[in-house]
Structure 1
Amino acid sequence: MGNYFSIIIGIVYLIGMFTIPKWRQQKLNKDWKFYELLWFSICFIVYVIYLEAQLHTYYFLIPSSFLLLFLFSYFKEKRRLINGLLFNLFLLIGMTYLGVLLVRTYNPLLIILAGITGIALLVLLLIGLYALVVFLYWNAIVVMRKEGHSLANLLTLLLAIGLTAFLIFNHYSTRILPQWASLLFGILPLTMFYFSIVFYNFLTISVIYQFNQPKYTQDYIIVLGSGLIDGKTVPPLLGKRIEKAIQFYKAQSSATLNPPKLVMSGGKGDDEHIAESLAMKHYALEKGIPEEDILVETNSKNTLENMKFSKEIIETDFGGTDFHALFTTNNFHLFRAGLFAKMANLKADGIGAKTAFYFLPNAFLREFIAIVMMHKRRHLIICGLIALMMILSALAQFFLVSHY
């Protein structure tokens, strides 16, 4: 019976896997990756529940409860950092559960998945940090060649240099430092480990937030500005934000014959000849968007002001607050922009424009630093506790050694 069910669920999964892309081709939004991932997850969960039903146990309810906790938190408010932590907690509990189920069933599929996961983790442990350093140096070179040598473009290089110095010193520290001093040096790796967890949670929720599937019921789309070339020309990065909004504008227009209005948001910088929003409007007009469907917000200087001032313009134009809106920006900036929308009391989720792969590491690092600064008091307290713990340990080790 077990083999028959495995074959059936495998056939059902394969049918869905090949059907989903064809199904999505018939839709206005042709993206199929999210639905493929969802279909795999559903089939795998059904299979795991069947395996446990064979054992007459219900331990799958433990990871399921953590999944439900994440889903409840996420759909109640998508724009929260804690959602990344909750999802990773579900993954940790889920992987532990699958490990226990593997021991209980010796199921071939679970054995294969465990083998792949084990090899990946082993490679990560053996060369993960060194591979990361090599990748960061390579990425830094590419970014500097294509984007210039500004400080914002040097983040991957600075991180690579810092990690290189850490690896060298860490290799020799146990040989040249007494034990109590090594404990003091331990402040650095523990702090790095803490921030790596924070970054992983941030990256997790940033990726999950990319899967927004907004309905074609929007009244407005806010397009966030990002600076102009020579103070007057829309750069490619900003152009992709506008084109993402136009893509949704046309899709909703085709689906409902009721297109949303585009709100171009961006003020005039000190080195710019015109407000960003006016240049963005001209760009959209050249792409065939009617002028009556474009609003401009010309006073904002940052993303928070983008959200606040755009909200004011929308409320005036709509004649109330019961509107539906979303915003467009580049995918790396999507989640932090969502946080600013929340701070502005603007009920709007975002859709992200694609960004060149080489630009993403540097961009996500910049976003992460900005996120950390938004919650710097919390991080300072935790880093202070880490430092205090290691200083007390070092003092205890020093006096114990001195005493004996």
Structure 2
Amino acid sequence: MTSLIFAVILGCVYCYLRWKDRRMLRNGIVLVAACWFALLGVAEILAQWFPWTSWIALGFVALTPLAVLVLAGFLIANGVTMLRHEGRSLGNLLSLVTGVALLVLPLLAVLLVLSMNPLAIGLAALLFFLCSYFGVVFVVFLAYALAYGRMKQRTDPDAVVVLGSQIINGKVPPLLQSRLDKGLDIYQGAPIGATPLLIPSGGQGPDESVAEGVAMARYLVDAGVPAHDVVAEDKAVNTAQNLQFSAALARDHSRGDALVVVTNNYHVLRAALLSRKLGLDAEVVGSPTARYFLPSAFLREFAAILVEHKTLHAIMCLPFLGITGLLVIGVLAASH
């Protein structure tokens, strides 16, 4: 019962934090904690009413290694699919590399422990601590990314910003087209007399024949949007600049500060975190993405968030180094 009480309290805290500001990753921490305590509470009640359910819980724990193997196999297969459909690049290799790591790291940890070398045992413990920490952080990120992606916009925007991605031969590829179509839906669904400005945003890469914003603007106009309702932003080279430059364009065209930013569903949370960091009044909505693309895309977004908060995560990992040091000292003392 205590676990359920904690779950209810944390659920209320999550609802308050989400109402106060959706664009904070701490909301995901509270959400995952609430779900965890709810699961524990339900398991405790089932164990009291139906004692045999305890064996089911133990079965799930025992099957954890099998679940890791299944996950690793899925990620490796997805990595092969990514290479086949998207070509070779570091981002496209992420699911493959993660799948291989899920197979190799546990074996490496076992071999280190079996060596009976104190330093090797300490390294195995450190691997366990770090993998557990980043695993939990990934669960928090993924859970809140999915939750945020399902949230509906709460305001009628003054401008709709569509974030760019690579164009091919001056044309809009399917990934980018899904963003533009989502932006069109928002534009066309606006109340009469409150039509937002459409701002397709993206600069010109070295392998692109035209700026992404310009190609996107052509697509929107060809789709029937009046040219005076479309203003291309063609200088941005990353998401932060997409947001900053587009907000400035909206102000230059005498629009308000309320923005709706459109990107693909895997990118919504990081774009939302960036918009808050930049002090923008923006909500972020997601467009559909091909399923095979999602595992690598979410891993790439997770890696980007880790890099953006590298100092925080480095500090959070310091206790693991201290515990590992104490463990090595203890093993050395016991061996003598």
Same fold (TM over 0.5): yes
Code of the residue aligned with 1:302 in structure 2: it is N
Which SS does the other structure have where 2:131 is aligned?
helix
The corresponding residue for 1:309 is 245
The corresponding residue for 1:26 is none
The corresponding residue for 2:282 is 348
Deviations 1:135-179 (A, max 9, x none): 111101111110001111001111122222213323433333335
Quote the Cα distance in structure 2 between the aligned partners of 1:328 and 1:121.
39
Residue 364 of structure 1: how far off its partner (Å): 0.5
Q: 1:115 to 1:363 in 2, by over 3 A?
A: farther
Deviations 1:187-222 (A, max 9, x none): 112101100000000001101001121246222110
Higher RCO, 1 or 2 (CA under 8 Å, sep at least 6)? 2
Q: 1:313 to 1:124 in 2, by over 3 A?
A: farther
Quote the Cα distance in structure 2 between the aligned partners of 1:117 and 1:81.
33
Which SS does the other structure have where 1:297 is aligned?
coil
Quote the Cα distance in structure 2 between the aligned partners of 1:236 and 1:362.
17
1:328 and 2:266 matched: no
Choose from 231, 238, 241 the match for 2:176.
238
Choose from 167, 179, 185 the match for 1:228.
167
The corresponding residue for 1:83 is 27
Q: TM-score, normalised by structure 1?
A: 0.77
Residue 233 of structure 1: how far off its partner (Å): 1.9
Which SS does the other structure have where 2:285 is aligned?
strand
Choose from 42, 46, 49 the match for 1:98.
42
Aligned residues: 336
| Pairing of 1:145-160 with structure 2 (within 5 A) | 145-160=84-99
Which SS does the other structure have where 1:200 is aligned?
helix
Residue 363 of structure 1: how far off its partner (Å): 0.5
Unaligned runs of at least 5 residues, structure 1: 1-56
Choose from 252, 264, 268 the match for 2:190.
252
- Structure 1 contact 216–252 (Cα < 8 Å) conserved: no
The corresponding residue for 1:140 is 79
Choose from 248, 259, 262 the match for 2:198.
262
Give the percent of matched residue pairs that are identical in Structure 1 and Structure 2.
29
Quote the Cα distance in structure 1 between the aligned partners of 2:305 and 2:219.
31
- Structure 1 contact 147–153 (Cα < 8 Å) conserved: yes
Q: Which has the larger radius of gyration?
A: 1
Quote the Cα distance in structure 2 between the aligned partners of 1:183 and 1:393.
6
Residues 123-132 or 185-194, more deviating: 123-132
Choose from 292, 295, 318 the match for 2:231.
295
Quote the Cα distance in structure 2 between the aligned partners of 1:242 and 1:152.
23
Could you list the runs of 4 or more consecutive aligned residues of structure 1 that deviate by over 4 angstroms after TM superposition? 57-62, 114-117
Code of the residue aligned with 1:275 in structure 2: it is A
Quote the Cα distance in structure 2 between the aligned partners of 1:98 and 1:86.
18
The corresponding residue for 1:282 is 218
Which SS does the other structure have where 1:252 is aligned?
coil
| Pairing of 1:4-403 with structure 2 (within 5 A) | 62-102=6-46, 106=49, 118=57, 121-122=60-61, 125-179=64-118, 181-215=120-154, 217-230=156-169, 232-252=170-190, 256=192, 258-318=194-254, 321=256, 323-402=257-336
Q: 1:61 to 1:188 in 2, by over 3 A?
A: closer
Quote the Cα distance in structure 2 between the aligned partners of 1:251 and 1:387.
54
Residue 67 of structure 1: how far off its partner (Å): 0.9
Quote the Cα distance in structure 2 between the aligned partners of 1:229 and 1:78.
34
Q: TM-score, normalised by structure 2?
A: 0.91
Residue 257 of structure 1: how far off its partner (Å): 5.9
Quote the Cα distance in structure 2 between the aligned partners of 1:251 and 1:84.
30
Quote the Cα distance in structure 2 between the aligned partners of 1:95 and 1:388.
31
Residue 134 of structure 1: how far off its partner (Å): 0.6
Quote the Cα distance in structure 1 between the aligned partners of 2:4 and 2:103.
43
RMSD (Å), alpha carbons: 2.6
Which SS does the other structure have where 1:352 is aligned?
strand
Code of the residue aligned with 1:227 in structure 2: it is Q
